[in-house]
Amino acid sequence: MKNKTVFVACDTSNLSEIKKIITQTNTKKLKIIPKFGLQFFYSKHGRKFLENIKSDFWLDLKINDIPHTALSAIHSLKDLKKCKYITIHANGGVEMLKEVKKEAKKINKNIKILGVTILTSLNNKSLKEIGHTKNIKELVLKQAALIKKSGCDGIVCSAQEALMVRKRYKNLLIITPGIRLPGDSSNDQVRIMTPKQAFKNKVSGIVIGRSLTKGNIKNNTLKLIDHLNK
C-alpha cells in the first residue's frame, strides 16, 4: 500500500477546510499528498499558507503561456520550498516545457514537473468542438511524446489512457485525475475510473477529490484504504 501514491485534491478556498482535509486524510497506511489548484492558490490566504506549509505538496497550476511568461511564473514560486510537484500544460509546446523544466530544477532540484494532457472533463465530442482532428487517445500519445521529449518528469492523463502511455514510456511518472470510489457520482468528470482500476493500469499515482473530501473525510479515507486492499 505504501508504494501507492494518492493526491487529495484540496479544492476549496476555505482555509479551515484545507487544514481539515490535510489532517483527516493523514494516515500511516497510505501515502497521501495534498494537491492545491487555482481555487486555493488564488484565495486570500492560499499563497501564504503554501509558503509556510510543513508537508510536501503538489501545486496544480497547469501553466500554459509563452516561454518567457511561464519562466517568470516559475521564478515567482521559488519561495514555496515544500512544493514537490508542479503542472504545466502540453499545449504550451515543447520549448515551453523544456525551459520550465530546466529553470525549475535550478530552483529546486527535487521538484517534479508534470505535463498535463487532455482534461478528464473532456471527451471526443468536446475535442471536435475545440477544433482538434485527433481523438483523445491519439492526442494524449502525441502530447506524451512532447512531454517525454522535453525532459519533464511525468504526465497527467486519465486512467483510461494510462496503460497505453505506460507501454510506450516505461519510466515516466503517470498521475491520473478523474478517480472515484465505486458508486460515487462522476460530477463534472467524463473519463473516470476507480482507484484500484487505475493502479491496475500501471499509474504512478492517482488524484482523488470529492470521494474523499465530501462528507466524513476520515471514513472516506478508510473506505479508500479498504478498496485498495481488496
Length of the chain in terms of residues written: 230
Burial-class residue 182 by CB neighbours within 10 Å (0-12, 13-18, 19+): exposed
Q: If phi over 0 gives left and psi between -120 and 50 gives alpha, with beta otherwise, what is residue 162?
A: alpha
Catalytically annotated residue among 4, 35, 62, 101: 62
Residue 104 and residue 111 in contact, taking contact as beta carbons nearer than 8 Å: yes
62 assigned to active site? yes
For 76, the 3-state DSSP assignment is coil
For 57, the 3-state DSSP assignment is strand
User: How is residue 113 written as a grid cell?
Assistant: 514537473
Residue 205 and residue 175 in contact, taking contact as beta carbons nearer than 8 Å: yes
- Total Cβ atoms within 10 A of residue 219: 11
The catalytic site residues sit at: 62
